[in-house]
Structure 1
Amino acid sequence: MNTSEKIPTLVFIPCFSGAPWSAEQLAPYGDAPTRTLRLPEGVDDMERYADYVQEVVADLDDWVLVGDSFGANIALAVATRRPKGLRALVVSGGFAANPVTSKSWKAVMRAIGKARGPFYRQLTLRAHAHRLASPFDREGQVYWSEARSRELFLENTPAASFGARVRAAMTADYVGVLGRIQVPTLILTPSHDVLIGEDASKVMLAGIPDAHEVVLPRTGHMFRFSHPVGYADAVQDFLTTVPTTSPTAGQAARA
């Protein structure tokens, strides 16, 4: 990206917790214009999340969408609509369809999505934090741990919203429409991800026409939190390769 050209707004979509990206995570992007958001509560349909994101960016005419984990699935949903002004797409630790194929794990997901009260706080969130963890979480620029992941959800995610997002993640499937995404796409993948697995990025890489993958070594699913500088460096390196005009500019007028 030519620095003399207009810099697009970087729009950051949160993970499953729903919490907006923090100042600590946005700081490595320097003076680039940024925008983040909190996910709406109690929504169990990925298309409705995509509707909300499009409301948030309605005033922008040049923007890049960056979605992490659950937010990556939302970002894919938005990008398949080819919204006006979308210049590029970044998805990290994400999936085009529910990456859990095991019937037993699907049953567990449904069960934990229904937990409330102490069962949610003490069982669901501890189990979820354990699935998010990797051996590399404590090696990054920010100390991270299972306890910090659980705290993130305790502070930001009501049990009803956790359950609603489980239902959204289990039912959303964009594999068949990935070809509609017509912007340069970075698939940013941690080297260790028990929650999502190895196949999810392969599906996106095969389905999105102008996509490439970068695997960050010695990182886990929570690398946006534990390795914010390395994560941002990968995003910014990608943006230097992106054309200075949006492929979606003027599409709405031609529709």
Structure 2
Amino acid sequence: MNTDVNTAERNPTLVFIPCLSGAPWSAEQLAPYGEAPKRALRLPEGVNDIERYAAYVETAIADLDDYVLVGDSFGANIALALATRRPQGLRALILSGGFAANPVDSKPWKALMRAIGKARGPFYRQLALRAHAHRLASPFDGEGQVPWSEARSRELFLTGTPAASFGARVEASLTADYVDVLGQVQVPTLILTPSHDVLIGENASKIMLAGISDAREVVLPRTGHMFRFSHPATYAAAVKGYLAALPTTRQSADA
């Protein structure tokens, strides 16, 4: 077996995979990454399977030979699913507020989530999105570089997420389970965790840390599940700090 060490001639492209809203990361959220190569994706509509989302992302970045997946919340589950396929060119994995399998273990909450996912019309706009925004909230949302609120979370979904797509993504999140294949992730992985997250809970990061061989966790104090939105500079600083500490070379083995 011959092993070649190739020095990276440029920075890897940061591929940003969005949350359940499906809307691509905004210019405000991307600005702290400066001149780094970036690609912000929008999720396809009406898809209810994480593997199909992973296939979509894989196709969308097929032209990249050196990249980092940055997935937030639902997007973290998509990034994780793609990483288990060991795609060529993947240098590192960033998972924020994410999970390997549905973190909701309460049967009543699961039933409520499925009911919320089926809401349409005013029931979606007035009831489902208000309930979801409440679960996303934390006491620290107003303290960040971009003060956030439940109203802003609801507006995010109102403006960019059709009810059918919201429901499909809820179903995808409830049925995804990558716990048994976490060992297939073979790249350095940062698990970026807010200090307060009612939606995801504490066990999600512990499961990923236990299953991914080269994973570390950074907990950002006084942040909540929406920290990508409320604390974009703090979030980006953690990502950039982690990537700056990674080796500047990549190894490729050819039999």
Taking structure 1 as the reference length, the TM-score comes to 0.95
Give the number of the structure whose residues are more often strand, by fraction.
2
Q: 1:138 and 1:244, CA in 2 relative to 1: closer, same or farther beyond 3 A? A: same
1: CA distance between counterparts of 2:109 and 2:246? 39
The one-letter amino acid paired with 1:36 is A
Q: Pick from 86, 92, 110: which aligns with 1:88?
A: 92
Give the aligned partner of residue 103 of structure 1.
107
Q: Partner amino acid for 2:248?
A: T
The 4+ residue runs of structure 1 with deviation greater than 6 A are none
* Separation (CA, whole Å) in 2 of partners of 1:244 and 1:170: 37
Match of 1:232 in 2: 236
Aligned to 1:38: 42
Aligned residue in 2 for 1:156: 160
Note the alpha carbon deviations across 1:20-73, whole angstroms, 9 max, x for none: 000000000000000011100000000000000001110000000000000000
Q: Which amino acid aligns with 2:11?
A: I
**Secondary structure of 1:193 counterpart:** coil
d(CA) in 1 for partners of 2:148, 2:54: 29
Does the alignment pair 1:202 with 2:180?
no
Match for residue 15 of structure 2? 11
CA drift at 1:163? 0.5
State how 1:164-203 maps to structure 2 within 5 Å.
Answer: 164-203=168-207
- Partner residue of 1:128? 132
Cα drift, residue 194 of structure 1? 0.3
SS in 2 for 1:100: coil
Local SS of the residue matching 2:229: helix
User: 2:249 aligns to what?
Assistant: 245
Distance in 1 of aligned mates of 2:109 and 2:247 = 42
- Residue 60 of structure 2 corresponds to 56
- For the residues of structure 2 that align with 1:5 and 1:223, how far apart are their CA atoms? 32
1:211 aligns with 2:223: no
- Give the deviation of 1:5 after TM superposition: 4.6
Q: Tell me if structure 2 keeps the 8 A contact 1:21–1:37.
A: yes
CA distance in 1, matches of 2:164, 2:247: 41
Residue 5 (structure 2) aligns with: none
Match of 1:139 in 2: 143
TM-score (norm 2): 0.95
- Number of residue pairs matched by the alignment: 249
Give percent identity, aligned residues only.
79
SS in 1 for 2:70: strand
Q: Could you tell me how far apart the structure 2 residues matched to 1:109 and 1:246 are?
A: 42
Counterpart of 2:248 in 1: which secondary structure? coil
Distance in structure 1 (CA, Å) of the matches to 2:9 and 2:208: 30
Contact kept, 8 Å, 1:68 with 1:92, in 2: the verdict is yes
Q: Secondary structure at the match of 1:67?
A: strand
The Cα shift of 1:106 comes to: 0.5
The change in CA–CA distance for 1:246 and 1:171 in structure 2 (over 3 A counts) is farther
Unaligned runs of 5+ in 1: none
The equivalent residue for 2:4 is: none
Residues 140-185 of structure 1 deviation map (CA, whole Å, 9 limit, x = unaligned)? 0001000000000000110000110011001100000000000000
